[in-house]
Amino acid sequence: MRNAVRTAGLGPAAGLALGVLILGACSSPARQAAPSVTPRQVACRQVSGALADGPDPDTDPAGHAEAQILPLRQIHAPDKALASAISALDRAYRKLFASSGKSSSAKEAVAVASKKIDALCPGAAS
């Protein structure tokens, strides 16, 4: 009977500790590997975000071009291909802005550069 009393005295404390451990394990988030995001994906999201801001390009092409210039310059591309495409788009927007949105060659340069961006970052310039 003495053993039963001693075991009963230790049982609740041990049971409580075990319950806390089990409860803690069940309530903590599972350790899953977070999906890795590549540097290019980060840059593509930045390009997409930059191009989404500003006036509507159909109603205010010069204002839209102006709104893209600084944000595009601030994006640091992780590879030469994307850096080149971003630079080309930046140059095209600067030319379009300088022409007050009227230069057909600048509009064409924006279209060509946008296609290059979309090839590297699908949907970013669409």
Per-residue pLDDT 10s for the chain (126 aa) are 555 545 445 555 555 554 545 555 555 455 555 579 999 999 999 999 999 988 888 889 899 899 998 999 999 999 999 999 999 999 999 999 999 999 999 999 999 999 999 999 999 998
Asked whether residue 86 is assigned to any structural domain, the reply reads: yes
Which residues constitute the domain of residue 101? 39-120
Distance CA 38, CA 34 (A): 12
Domain presence at residue 81: yes
Q: Among residues 64, 55, 39, 42, which one has the least CA distance to residue 114?
A: 64
Tokens of 74: 């601030």
In a domain, 4, yes or no: no
Q: Tell whether 10 is covered by a domain.
A: no
CA atoms within 13 A on the CB side of 75: 31
Q: What letter represents residue 54's amino acid?
A: G
Whether residue 29 lies inside any domain: the answer is no
Q: Is the dihedral of CA 57, 93, 108, 102 positive or negative?
A: positive
Residue 90: both structure tokens together: 């930046």
CA 118 to chain centre: 15
The pTM assigned to this predicted structure is: 0.69
Q: Is residue 125 part of a domain?
A: no
CA angle in degrees (0–180, nearest 5) for 121-119-80: 75
In a domain, 48, yes or no: yes
Overall domain count for the chain: 1
Domain annotation covers residue 98: yes
